[in-house]
Amino acid sequence: MKICWDNLEKMEYISHSGEWRKFSGINKNNKKCYHYYIYKEKCKNCRNPYLSAKYGNSNFCSKNCSQKGNNNNFNNFNKNVKTNTINHSQWKGGYVSNNISTFDEYAKQIDWCEQVRRNKKDINILEVKCAYCGRWFIPTYISIWNRIQALNGQLGNSENRLYCSTKCKQECPVYNKKVWPKGFKIATSREVQPELRQMVLKRDNYTCQKCGKHQDELKTGLHCHHLEGIRWEPLESADMDKCITLCKNCHKAVHKIEGCNYNDMKCKEVL
Protein backbone atom coordinates (compact mmCIF):
# COMPACT_ATOMS: atom_id res chain seq x y z
CA MET A 1 0.00 0.00 0.00
CA LYS A 2 1.19 3.50 -0.80
CA ILE A 3 1.97 5.81 2.09
CA CYS A 4 -0.72 8.40 2.82
CA TRP A 5 -2.27 9.89 5.97
CA ASP A 6 -5.25 7.53 5.82
CA ASN A 7 -2.97 4.51 5.92
CA LEU A 8 -0.70 5.89 8.60
CA GLU A 9 -3.59 6.65 10.93
CA LYS A 10 -4.47 2.94 10.98
CA MET A 11 -0.87 1.91 11.59
CA GLU A 12 1.31 1.69 14.65
CA TYR A 13 4.98 2.49 14.21
CA ILE A 14 7.51 0.38 16.10
CA SER A 15 10.67 2.42 16.34
CA HIS A 16 13.13 -0.18 17.63
CA SER A 17 12.62 -2.54 14.66
CA GLY A 18 11.76 0.05 12.00
CA GLU A 19 8.54 -1.73 11.06
CA TRP A 20 4.95 -0.65 10.63
CA ARG A 21 2.18 -2.89 11.88
CA LYS A 22 -1.56 -3.04 11.26
CA PHE A 23 -4.11 -4.71 13.48
CA SER A 24 -5.79 -7.60 11.67
CA GLY A 25 -8.00 -9.15 14.40
CA ILE A 26 -8.11 -11.58 17.31
CA ASN A 27 -6.85 -15.09 16.93
CA LYS A 28 -8.14 -18.28 18.58
CA ASN A 29 -6.04 -17.65 21.67
CA ASN A 30 -7.65 -14.23 22.14
CA LYS A 31 -4.45 -12.48 21.14
CA LYS A 32 -4.13 -9.53 18.81
CA CYS A 33 -2.77 -10.30 15.34
CA TYR A 34 -0.85 -7.82 13.23
CA HIS A 35 0.41 -7.55 9.66
CA TYR A 36 3.92 -6.16 9.48
CA TYR A 37 5.20 -3.80 6.79
CA ILE A 38 8.56 -2.29 5.83
CA TYR A 39 8.99 1.24 4.53
CA LYS A 40 10.41 1.47 1.00
CA GLU A 41 11.44 4.72 -0.61
CA LYS A 42 9.97 4.18 -4.08
CA CYS A 43 7.99 1.78 -6.22
CA LYS A 44 9.85 0.49 -9.27
CA ASN A 45 7.00 1.53 -11.52
CA CYS A 46 5.42 4.73 -10.16
CA ARG A 47 8.43 5.82 -8.04
CA ASN A 48 6.22 6.69 -5.03
CA PRO A 49 7.06 5.60 -1.45
CA TYR A 50 5.07 2.65 -0.08
CA LEU A 51 4.85 0.05 2.67
CA SER A 52 5.80 -3.44 1.65
CA ALA A 53 4.88 -6.66 3.44
CA LYS A 54 7.75 -7.70 5.69
CA TYR A 55 7.90 -11.26 4.39
CA GLY A 56 7.28 -10.37 0.74
CA ASN A 57 9.82 -9.73 -2.01
CA SER A 58 7.76 -7.36 -4.12
CA ASN A 59 9.29 -4.10 -5.34
CA PHE A 60 5.93 -2.64 -6.40
CA CYS A 61 3.28 -0.82 -4.39
CA SER A 62 0.29 -2.57 -5.99
CA LYS A 63 -0.75 -5.28 -8.45
CA ASN A 64 -1.27 -2.73 -11.21
CA CYS A 65 2.25 -1.37 -10.79
CA SER A 66 3.57 -4.90 -10.63
CA GLN A 67 2.04 -5.85 -13.98
CA LYS A 68 3.16 -2.64 -15.64
CA GLY A 69 6.63 -2.96 -14.17
CA ASN A 70 7.09 -6.56 -15.35
CA ASN A 71 6.03 -5.60 -18.87
CA ASN A 72 8.52 -2.74 -18.87
CA ASN A 73 11.27 -5.03 -17.62
CA PHE A 74 10.50 -7.52 -20.39
CA ASN A 75 10.60 -4.80 -23.05
CA ASN A 76 13.85 -3.41 -21.66
CA PHE A 77 15.34 -6.90 -21.68
CA ASN A 78 14.46 -7.34 -25.35
CA LYS A 79 16.01 -3.96 -26.17
CA ASN A 80 19.21 -4.87 -24.33
CA VAL A 81 19.39 -8.21 -26.11
CA LYS A 82 18.95 -6.58 -29.52
CA THR A 83 21.61 -3.95 -28.82
CA ASN A 84 24.09 -6.42 -27.33
CA THR A 85 23.68 -9.40 -29.62
CA ILE A 86 27.38 -10.20 -29.88
CA ASN A 87 27.83 -10.28 -26.11
CA HIS A 88 24.64 -12.22 -25.37
CA SER A 89 24.76 -15.96 -26.11
CA GLN A 90 21.06 -16.68 -25.59
CA TRP A 91 19.45 -14.12 -27.91
CA LYS A 92 17.46 -15.38 -30.86
CA GLY A 93 19.97 -15.95 -33.63
CA GLY A 94 22.91 -15.96 -31.20
CA TYR A 95 25.77 -18.41 -30.76
CA VAL A 96 23.98 -21.05 -28.69
CA SER A 97 20.69 -20.98 -30.59
CA ASN A 98 22.58 -21.13 -33.91
CA ASN A 99 24.87 -23.96 -32.75
CA ILE A 100 27.99 -21.84 -33.29
CA SER A 101 31.22 -22.56 -31.42
CA THR A 102 33.04 -19.66 -29.76
CA PHE A 103 36.79 -19.10 -29.93
CA ASP A 104 37.47 -18.40 -26.25
CA GLU A 105 35.67 -21.53 -25.11
CA TYR A 106 37.04 -24.16 -27.50
CA ALA A 107 40.19 -22.92 -29.27
CA LYS A 108 42.64 -23.83 -26.50
CA GLN A 109 41.25 -27.37 -26.32
CA ILE A 110 41.95 -28.23 -29.97
CA ASP A 111 44.68 -25.84 -31.17
CA TRP A 112 47.35 -28.48 -30.56
CA CYS A 113 45.95 -30.65 -33.38
CA GLU A 114 43.72 -28.31 -35.41
CA GLN A 115 44.39 -25.01 -37.15
CA VAL A 116 42.17 -22.40 -35.53
CA ARG A 117 41.56 -18.68 -35.91
CA ARG A 118 38.99 -16.00 -35.09
CA ASN A 119 36.29 -15.08 -37.59
CA LYS A 120 37.02 -11.72 -39.26
CA LYS A 121 33.45 -10.42 -38.96
CA ASP A 122 32.95 -11.58 -35.36
CA ILE A 123 36.08 -12.27 -33.31
CA ASN A 124 34.06 -14.34 -30.82
CA ILE A 125 33.37 -17.03 -33.43
CA LEU A 126 35.79 -19.93 -33.95
CA GLU A 127 37.00 -21.01 -37.40
CA VAL A 128 38.91 -24.22 -38.22
CA LYS A 129 40.32 -25.83 -41.35
CA CYS A 130 38.47 -28.65 -43.07
CA ALA A 131 40.28 -31.97 -42.60
CA TYR A 132 39.81 -32.81 -46.29
CA CYS A 133 39.97 -29.69 -48.47
CA GLY A 134 41.68 -27.31 -46.03
CA ARG A 135 39.12 -24.49 -46.31
CA TRP A 136 38.38 -22.30 -43.30
CA PHE A 137 34.84 -22.70 -41.98
CA ILE A 138 32.74 -22.15 -38.84
CA PRO A 139 32.09 -25.48 -37.10
CA THR A 140 29.08 -26.20 -34.91
CA TYR A 141 29.76 -26.39 -31.20
CA ILE A 142 28.36 -29.94 -31.23
CA SER A 143 30.99 -31.04 -33.77
CA ILE A 144 33.71 -29.30 -31.74
CA TRP A 145 32.50 -30.96 -28.56
CA ASN A 146 32.53 -34.39 -30.25
CA ARG A 147 36.04 -33.72 -31.56
CA ILE A 148 37.23 -32.87 -28.05
CA GLN A 149 35.63 -36.01 -26.66
CA ALA A 150 37.33 -38.10 -29.36
CA LEU A 151 40.73 -36.53 -28.66
CA ASN A 152 40.28 -37.37 -24.99
CA GLY A 153 39.62 -41.00 -25.88
CA GLN A 154 36.00 -40.93 -24.73
CA LEU A 155 34.44 -42.03 -28.04
CA GLY A 156 36.31 -45.26 -28.68
CA ASN A 157 38.17 -45.38 -32.02
CA SER A 158 36.17 -42.55 -33.57
CA GLU A 159 38.16 -39.41 -34.45
CA ASN A 160 35.26 -37.08 -35.34
CA ARG A 161 37.39 -34.96 -37.66
CA LEU A 162 36.06 -31.59 -38.73
CA TYR A 163 34.70 -31.22 -42.27
CA CYS A 164 33.27 -28.13 -43.94
CA SER A 165 30.58 -30.08 -45.78
CA THR A 166 29.05 -33.51 -46.25
CA LYS A 167 30.78 -33.72 -49.64
CA CYS A 168 34.23 -33.43 -48.07
CA LYS A 169 33.29 -35.94 -45.40
CA GLN A 170 32.22 -38.50 -48.01
CA GLU A 171 35.28 -37.95 -50.21
CA CYS A 172 37.77 -38.17 -47.34
CA PRO A 173 39.57 -41.53 -47.56
CA VAL A 174 39.89 -41.88 -43.78
CA TYR A 175 36.31 -41.01 -42.85
CA ASN A 176 34.52 -43.87 -41.09
CA LYS A 177 37.47 -46.20 -41.67
CA LYS A 178 39.14 -48.51 -39.17
CA VAL A 179 42.89 -48.35 -38.61
CA TRP A 180 43.41 -52.09 -38.97
CA PRO A 181 40.19 -53.61 -40.37
CA LYS A 182 39.63 -57.35 -40.50
CA GLY A 183 41.36 -58.89 -43.52
CA PHE A 184 43.59 -55.83 -44.01
CA LYS A 185 46.20 -56.20 -46.75
CA ILE A 186 48.96 -53.77 -47.68
CA ALA A 187 48.28 -52.35 -51.13
CA THR A 188 49.32 -49.39 -53.23
CA SER A 189 47.15 -46.34 -52.58
CA ARG A 190 46.10 -43.67 -55.08
CA GLU A 191 45.28 -41.19 -52.33
CA VAL A 192 47.58 -38.19 -52.14
CA GLN A 193 48.93 -36.66 -48.98
CA PRO A 194 46.30 -34.51 -47.20
CA GLU A 195 48.62 -31.49 -47.09
CA LEU A 196 49.34 -31.76 -50.83
CA ARG A 197 45.63 -32.06 -51.66
CA GLN A 198 44.76 -29.02 -49.59
CA MET A 199 47.49 -26.89 -51.19
CA VAL A 200 46.47 -27.93 -54.72
CA LEU A 201 42.76 -27.28 -54.10
CA LYS A 202 43.55 -23.87 -52.65
CA ARG A 203 45.84 -23.00 -55.57
CA ASP A 204 43.07 -23.89 -58.04
CA ASN A 205 40.50 -21.90 -56.03
CA TYR A 206 38.52 -25.06 -55.23
CA THR A 207 37.47 -25.31 -58.87
CA CYS A 208 37.60 -28.31 -61.20
CA GLN A 209 40.19 -27.57 -63.89
CA LYS A 210 38.30 -29.64 -66.49
CA CYS A 211 34.61 -28.66 -66.18
CA GLY A 212 35.21 -25.31 -64.44
CA LYS A 213 32.69 -25.88 -61.63
CA HIS A 214 33.38 -24.56 -58.16
CA GLN A 215 33.13 -26.82 -55.13
CA ASP A 216 29.91 -25.10 -54.03
CA GLU A 217 28.28 -25.93 -57.39
CA LEU A 218 29.12 -29.63 -57.27
CA LYS A 219 27.15 -32.43 -55.68
CA THR A 220 30.37 -34.30 -54.94
CA GLY A 221 33.74 -33.25 -53.55
CA LEU A 222 36.99 -32.35 -55.32
CA HIS A 223 39.98 -34.61 -55.92
CA CYS A 224 43.66 -33.96 -56.37
CA HIS A 225 44.84 -35.68 -59.55
CA HIS A 226 48.45 -36.50 -60.45
CA LEU A 227 49.35 -35.62 -64.03
CA GLU A 228 52.06 -38.28 -63.91
CA GLY A 229 51.87 -41.69 -62.31
CA ILE A 230 53.23 -41.63 -58.78
CA ARG A 231 54.13 -45.27 -59.18
CA TRP A 232 56.76 -44.34 -61.75
CA GLU A 233 58.04 -41.19 -60.07
CA PRO A 234 57.50 -41.58 -56.32
CA LEU A 235 60.08 -38.93 -55.40
CA GLU A 236 58.08 -36.28 -57.27
CA SER A 237 54.68 -37.39 -56.01
CA ALA A 238 54.45 -34.36 -53.69
CA ASP A 239 55.21 -31.82 -56.42
CA MET A 240 52.29 -29.36 -56.69
CA ASP A 241 53.16 -28.57 -60.31
CA LYS A 242 52.32 -32.15 -61.26
CA CYS A 243 48.87 -32.07 -59.67
CA ILE A 244 45.58 -30.47 -60.64
CA THR A 245 42.12 -30.23 -59.11
CA LEU A 246 39.32 -32.33 -60.61
CA CYS A 247 35.78 -33.09 -59.52
CA LYS A 248 34.84 -36.69 -58.86
CA ASN A 249 33.13 -37.24 -62.23
CA CYS A 250 35.94 -35.63 -64.22
CA HIS A 251 38.48 -37.63 -62.24
CA LYS A 252 36.74 -40.86 -63.23
CA ALA A 253 36.52 -39.74 -66.84
CA VAL A 254 40.23 -38.91 -66.97
CA HIS A 255 41.21 -42.35 -65.75
CA LYS A 256 39.14 -43.96 -68.51
CA ILE A 257 41.44 -42.42 -71.13
CA GLU A 258 43.72 -44.95 -72.78
CA GLY A 259 47.08 -44.99 -71.07
CA CYS A 260 45.73 -43.19 -68.02
CA ASN A 261 43.92 -45.93 -66.18
CA TYR A 262 44.65 -46.77 -62.59
CA ASN A 263 47.09 -49.49 -63.55
CA ASP A 264 49.69 -47.45 -65.42
CA MET A 265 48.92 -43.84 -64.37
CA LYS A 266 50.98 -42.44 -67.25
CA CYS A 267 48.55 -40.05 -68.90
CA LYS A 268 49.65 -36.39 -68.95
CA GLU A 269 47.11 -34.87 -71.35
CA VAL A 270 43.84 -34.50 -69.48
CA LEU A 271 42.54 -31.10 -70.57
- Tens of pLDDT, residue by residue over 168-179, are 888 888 887 665
| Residue 264 domain-assigned (yes or no) | no
pTM over 0.85: no
Q: Are 165 and 199 in the same domain?
A: no
Q: What is the CA radius of gyration of the chain?
A: 35
- Tens of pLDDT, residue by residue over 202-241, are 999 999 999 999 988 888 889 988 877 666 666 677 788 8
| Residue 269 domain-assigned (yes or no) | no
Q: Are 161 and 227 in the same domain?
A: no
3-class DSSP state of 24? strand
Cβ within 8 Å of residue 100, ≥6 positions away: 125, 138, 140, 141
Q: Are 15 and 68 in the same domain?
A: yes
Helix %, strand %, coil % for the chain, to 5?
30, 20, 55
Q: Supply the pLDDT for residue 81.
A: 43
Mean of pLDDT values over 245-270: 73
Mark residue 105 as left, alpha or beta (left: phi above 0; alpha: psi -120 to 50; beta: remaining): alpha
**33-42, 119-128, 250-259: least confident range:** 33-42
- Tens of pLDDT, residue by residue over 96-149, are 777 888 898 899 999 999 999 999 988 889 999 999 999 999 999 889 999 999
Q: How many domains does the chain have?
A: 3
Mean of pLDDT values over 44-50: 80
Segments forming the whole domain that contains residue 211: 194-254
Q: Name the DSSP letter for residue 128.
A: E
Which burial class, exposed, middle or buried, applies to 27 when counting CB atoms under 10 A from its CB (0-12, 13-18, 19+)? exposed
| Residue 23 domain-assigned (yes or no) | yes
